[in-house]
Amino acid sequence: MHKPSLIPDFAYDPPDTPLSILYEDPAIIVIDKPAGLLTVPGKLENRQDCLITRLQAVRWDALTVHRLDCDTSGVIIFARTKQAQGYLGQEFEQRRAQKTYVARLKGVLRPDSGTVDLPLGSDWDYRPRQKVDHDHGRPAVTDWQVIDRTESETRVRLTPHTGRSHQLRVHMLALGHPILGDQIYAPETRASHERLMLHAESLALHHPTSGDWVSFTAPAPF
């Protein structure tokens, strides 16, 4: 018997903020995505407003390469040609692209650094929730480094080596220190945090035209 979902209904209220273009040239566009905005249109009604739609309204040739969770802010790259889209797709698929995130975690995480190596898979009874799944999950690895601590939380820099759905959120939960403001994995923190405290701080990869190693950053807004 299918279990009822325990995930609260997703009320989509995208922010009315202007596009923040960090960089663009004839092959790529790099955006600082705001939290609360879908990367691509949702399947349900009233979820068509999204980053790619807004971007294509001013850059008609923009093409999706990868995604950030709706509640995650930060650096995201789009292609402007099919050739660039294919090249960048391989950068992510072959794990050549390097990403770092900043997050604020519940509680005091120790020691100062470490690695989470836990396979992840869908929690089919409670979608879109993901879970650690040693039997059927796909490999997932995240490095973490403490930036700062207070008496009740820890700021960390996260470096994922794989790109599983909700990877950083589930891996931090597995450490016992979920990301603050996470309505799926730490709903008790949502009342005191207006957003998910997770930001894609930097993205580095090979440029699809020149082949040069390029890097883009956007400081965390929290």
CA 75/CA 217 separation, integer angstroms: 7
Rounded to two decimals, the pTM is 0.94
Domains of the chain: 21-217 (3.30.2350.10)
Residue 172: phi and psi, rounded to 5, are: -70, -40
C-beta atoms surrounding 117 within 10 Å: 13
What does each of the 222 residues of the chain score in pLDDT, given as a tens digit?
444 444 555 689 999 999 999 999 999 999 999 999 999 998 888 889 999 999 999 999 999 999 999 999 999 999 999 999 999 999 999 999 999 999 999 999 999 999 999 999 999 999 899 999 999 999 999 999 999 999 999 999 999 999 999 999 999 999 999 999 999 999 999 999 999 999 999 999 999 999 999 999 999 999
CA 134/CA 40 separation, integer angstroms: 30
- Write out the two tokens for 11: 């009320």
The catalytic site residues sit at 69
> Which residues does residue 158 pair with via DSSP β-bridges, in sequence order?
101, 144
Report how far apart, in Å, the C-alpha atoms of 145 and of each of 55, 95, 156, 159, 180 are.
Answer: 33, 20, 5, 9, 17
- Write out the two tokens for 94: 């072959």
